[in-house]
Amino acid sequence: MTQRALTALALLTLATPAFAQDTLNALVWCDHTDPALIAPFEEKYNVKVNLKEFEGTAAGLAILDQSQPGDWDVMVIDSVDVHRAVEAGKLAELPADKLPTADFFPELVMADNNTVDGKTYAVTEKFGYNTTSYDKTKVDPADMEDMAALTSGKYDGKIGIYDYYLPVLGLVALGQGINTADVNADTLPKLQEPLMALRKASKQVSDVVSSQTALATGDVDIIVGGGEWLTAVLAKDNPNLDWTIPKQGGLRWSQSIGVVAGTAKPDLALEFVQYIVSPEGQAALAQSSCYWGMPANQKAGDLLSAEAKAVLRWDQQPDYLKRSQLYPIPDAATDTAMQDMWTAMLNQ
Amino acid sequence: MSLASQERTLARGLVAPAVLWTLAFFVVPFLAMLALSFAHMEGRKIVQGFDPGNYLRAFGDWSQLKALINSVEITLTVTVISVLLAWPLAAIIAWRVPQRFQRLALLLAVLPFWTSYVVRSYSWLLVLGKNGVINQALMGLGIVAEPLALASTRTATVIGFVHFFVMLLTLTIYANLVQLSPNYARAAQDLGAGRWATFAHVILPLTLPGVITGAFVTFVLCIGDYITPQILGGNTELTLPQLIMLQMGRSGNFPMASALSVILMAVVSLAYAGCSRWLRLDRV
Amino acid sequence: MRILSWVYLCLAYAFVFLPVVVLVVFSFQDGRLPVPPFHGFSLQWYEKILSDTGLMTALWHSALVAFISSALALVMGFLAAHALARVRLPGSVLLRGVLIAPMTVSYLIIALGLLTLFNQTGIKLSLWTAGIGHVVINLPLCFAMAYAAMGDHQKTAERAARDLGATEAQVLWLISAPMLAPALAAAFFLSVTFSWDEFIIAFLLTRFDVTLPVEIWSMLRSGLSPATNAVGSLVFLVSITAVVATEVFVLRRAK
């Protein structure tokens, strides 16, 4: 009887980790959960990095709202949303001189987005494009250069939409000749019809995995909002998958990383941020298992293999950067309106 | 203290932990959620107060109401199909399969229960895909020329649900059938009833309470399920649980999520009221 | 008619096993994608998941939460059933109703309610909070099964024991529990099964330490891969081994 009680007690204490090891709590997107990225940092500093994934900025801010100061140390966030987070008091200032932004692709320094009143709050870590991904053996690649082909009727039922309202609504705006910077309460209603038309022509609206599955199984031939991040990871097994930026343009996504305000470990958090933007961290992040993307730090190119660079289209980046626009940055009311429009579209 | 009241005090003491647990972690949270459903969001702050705005929106906004309708439609479809498929299976195992193999037969029928629910739904996505097993079989047999678009539709969601609930209902209906004394059937046949009459007028009514209890459990589990529609539905339409998770995850709108949850619970309560005549949940 | 029955049985089994067979077959896929065509036999995915410490930790967490929450639910449910079956308490119908009520509520709602409660009281999310949720869903089940199994011959045996001077605790431990062992074992087994595979409560009520279904969900959201098939197959294999072992060693012996 006592033996059983003792074993139970032992099991219980095992369950509640009381490691002497330091921990770092990170709110991240799924590409940060790759052990190839995290393990070198954990070994070097002898810490355990706790990772929690979240979907979009609204979800991330909601998590922070429900948490106490000190619960989280670092956070990944859409570069275009850094201002929102700073205004909500969620990010701590970063020492700009300690960040290697001089080595970045110039367009990706994004000082306007990452700084507020001259103070740096986040640093860009990865970027890529939301455009059109497709199976080049099933569709006519020439058609993919024009967004209008998607609603022309030729590909009805063969299209999948990536389930993230911001970039897809941005793409719809570009298709209507509206710049993403001009998407606001006045121009938003103009997107309603084209969005619904796109939905009618599509088979499904799905997240990363379901989109990949659908492309791989041939359930859809085109993904709107897809890009290299969707197809690169499948490239080896499925070389038919391709992507392009149509003539109306594409969206450029970029994610930044910052230190959460109120963290109990500001130094460790800063070390983590510095690791992520160092060439080694950048090379690992660019090829991490959830989705690939271009590293913000150009020096990472020295550590990437030739095949990886080919998949990422390293050499065509200057052209892509020119033809792509940033995500729309809606105010709170417009954001809610966009989400409502999206929900209505899902439930058509 | 008399012996009886001593007994009663002791009994109260024994019941207390379970009741207190249920009160603290079921009743109170539900009341908290109910209170939250009457709050509303201003920006990202939750403002308490008695504001039925969330409920008005849930019923007034077509895309929200549609989610509720979708859930009820899918759940009713799944419940009916599952019962119709599971009853014969349970009956065959109970009456046709030799006694010593019955437990094995039953176990085989529910074995896939033990693959992870999440992974099983995802497997259905692959099975139903354009170059999945089913389409390849159909095309190979020449039944269809082009692969059917099965995955990421309501059909796929229903198939995924039915798969799970047929297993569950087979278990519960079987347990019900084996308790049925064969004397009833014998008596009916002695009195001259034919096979079908015995079945329709004796066996079916006797097993009805058990079937209805199983159907009710199916209804509750199905209407509140998030995973299967999320993985298999392709977001071609939203169900109520998906809407609730959307409100929570994407918008961070807890009051709205709470209101939708209360509505979900109200629907289940209606179903309960409808079946309560037959329900014997304490003998499930 | 007989033949029809066997045909139906075979078709039913085929339907039930279809996704599982596909799952297992493609876990051996020699290629990046678990979709047809099947390229060849490879154990690489099993190697990958067995060396994935996150998965193995999650598996351990799942077992822990399942056993502890089921044990707690069983004890509380058994005591409550014992009391309510023996003694006519005023309001016992209401008490029974309260204890059974969580059975009629969807897990999502139970999870949301608890999340609201924990947010408002500042309790941090962890495996313990998920465990609390699992007790809530399993307690009605354990109570109902224990209550249904109680009969008159137990009452007689208990009365006899009390007459011989046993304390209530002794009566419970030495008489009631053993006599109800099959029902209690079944309740425990079912509770463990429900808790082990439960997703939504574990998903909403944990933070970093997660259970297996939540870890699999994260894996799924990170990309399409036969590794997920391998996990599912492994879980399946472990579960049916446990079921078969229980069947052979426990249930047969009880006969």
The answer to whether the Cβ–Cβ distance between C112 and B129 falls below 8 Å is: no
Same structural domain for residues C75 and C113?
yes
pLDDT tier at A170, thresholds 50, 70, 90: very high
| Nearest-by-CA chain A residue for B136 | A217
Cα separation, A276 vs A255, whole angstroms: 12
pLDDT of residue A195: 93
Is residue A130 within 8 A of residue A167, CB to CB? The reply is yes
Same structural domain for residues C180 and C72?
yes
ipTM of the complex: 0.84
Q: What is the DSSP letter of C29?
A: B
The answer to whether the Cβ–Cβ distance between A347 and B237 falls below 8 Å is: yes
- Give the rounded percent of residues in chain C with a pLDDT score beyond 90: 31
Q: What are phi and psi of A49, to 5 degrees?
A: -95, 115
Asked if the C-beta of C60 comes within 8 angstroms of chain B's C-beta atoms, the answer is no
Q: What mean pLDDT comes out for the span A81-85?
A: 90
Chain B closest-CA separation from residue A258 CA (Å) = 21
Same structural domain for residues C107 and C17?
no
Model-level pTM?
Answer: 0.84
Nearest-CB residue to B21 (from C13, C16, C135): C135
Q: What mean pLDDT comes out for the span A36-65?
A: 87
Is pLDDT of C190 > 80? Answer: yes
Is pLDDT of B131 > 90? Answer: no
Looking at the domain assignment, is residue C162 inside a domain?
yes
Same structural domain for residues C38 and C21?
yes
pLDDT of residue C42: 87
**Cis before residue C37, ω within 30 degrees of 0?**
yes
Nearest-CB residue to B123 (from C9, C23, C217): C23
Q: Which two tokens mark B137?
A: 């079989």
The chains found to touch A (3+ Cβ pairs under 8 angstroms) are B, C
Tell the residue number behind the tokens 């599982």, with chain if given: C20
Asked if the C-beta of C223 comes within 8 angstroms of chain A's C-beta atoms, the answer is yes
Total of domains in chain C: 2
Nearest-CB residue to B132 (from A88, A217, A332): A217
Cα separation, A78 vs A81, whole angstroms: 5
Same structural domain for residues C240 and C168?
no
pLDDT, tens digit, for every residue of A283-305? 999 988 778 889 999 999 999 99
Residues of C whose CB is below 8 A from B14: 79-80, 82-83
pLDDT of residue A5: 56
CATH architecture group of domain A20-127+253-315: 3-Layer(aba) Sandwich (3.40)
Q: Which two tokens mark B2?
A: 């008399």
pLDDT tier at B261, thresholds 50, 70, 90: very high
Same structural domain for residues C139 and C66?
yes
In our burial notation (b when 16+ CB lie closer than 10 A, e otherwise), range C167-181 reads ebeebbeebbeebbe
Q: Which two tokens mark C199?
A: 């997703």
pLDDT of residue C250: 64
Is residue B97 within 8 A of residue B109, CB to CB? The reply is no
Residue C74's domain comprises: 61-221
**Three-class DSSP labels, chain A:** CHHHHHHHHHHHHHHCCCCCCEEEEEEECHHHHCHHHHHHHHHHHCEEEEEEECCCHHHHHHHHHCCCCCCCCEEEEEHHHHHHHHHCCCEECECHHHCCHHHECHHHCCHHHHEECCEECCEEEEEEEEEEEEECCCCCCCHHHCHHHHHCCCCCCCEEEECCHHHHHHHHHHHCCCCHHHCCCCCCHHHHHHHHHHHHCEEEEECHHHHHHHHHHCCCCEEEEECHHHHHHHCCCCCCEEEECCCCCEEEEEEEEEEECCCCCHHHHHHHHHHHHCHHHHHHHHCCCCCCCEECEHHHHHHCCHHHHHHHCHHHHHHHHHHEEECCCCCHHHHHHHHHHHHHHHCC
Same structural domain for residues C157 and C237?
no
Is pLDDT of A155 > 80? Answer: yes
pLDDT of residue B284: 46
Is residue A194 within 8 A of residue A175, CB to CB? The reply is yes
Query: Which region holds residue A177: left if phi is over 0, alpha if psi is between -120 and 50, else beta?
Result: left
pLDDT tier at C151, thresholds 50, 70, 90: confident
Q: What are phi and psi of B39, to 5 degrees?
A: -95, 175
In angstroms, what CA-CA distances link B1 with B6, B7, B15, C160, C167? 6, 10, 20, 22, 17
The answer to whether the Cβ–Cβ distance between C33 and A216 falls below 8 Å is: yes
Spell out the CATH class of A128-252+325-346: alpha beta
Chain C closest-CA separation from residue A165 CA (Å) = 18
| Nearest-by-CA chain C residue for A26 | C208
Q: Which two tokens mark C115?
A: 């999340």
pLDDT, tens digit, for every residue of A8-27? 555 554 544 444 578 999 99
Which residues, listed in sequence order, are joined to residue A49 by a DSSP beta bridge? A24
Same structural domain for residues C130 and C208?
yes
Cα separation, A139 vs A208, whole angstroms: 21
Same structural domain for residues C137 and C99?
yes
Report C:157-196 residues touching B (Cβ under 8 A). Answer: 168, 193
pLDDT of residue C33: 76
Looking at the domain assignment, is residue C129 inside a domain?
yes
Is pLDDT of A33 > 80? Answer: yes
The answer to whether the Cβ–Cβ distance between A15 and C64 falls below 8 Å is: yes
Q: Where are the domains of chain A?
A: 20-127+253-315, 128-252+325-346
Same structural domain for residues C15 and C124?
no
Nearest-CB residue to C221 (from A11, A30, A66): A30
Spell out the CATH class of B63-283: mainly alpha
Chain A closest-CA separation from residue B191 CA (Å) = 57
pLDDT of residue B282: 55
Q: What mean pLDDT comes out for the span C144-155?
A: 81
Looking at the domain assignment, is residue C131 inside a domain?
yes
Residue B47 or A96, more confident: A96
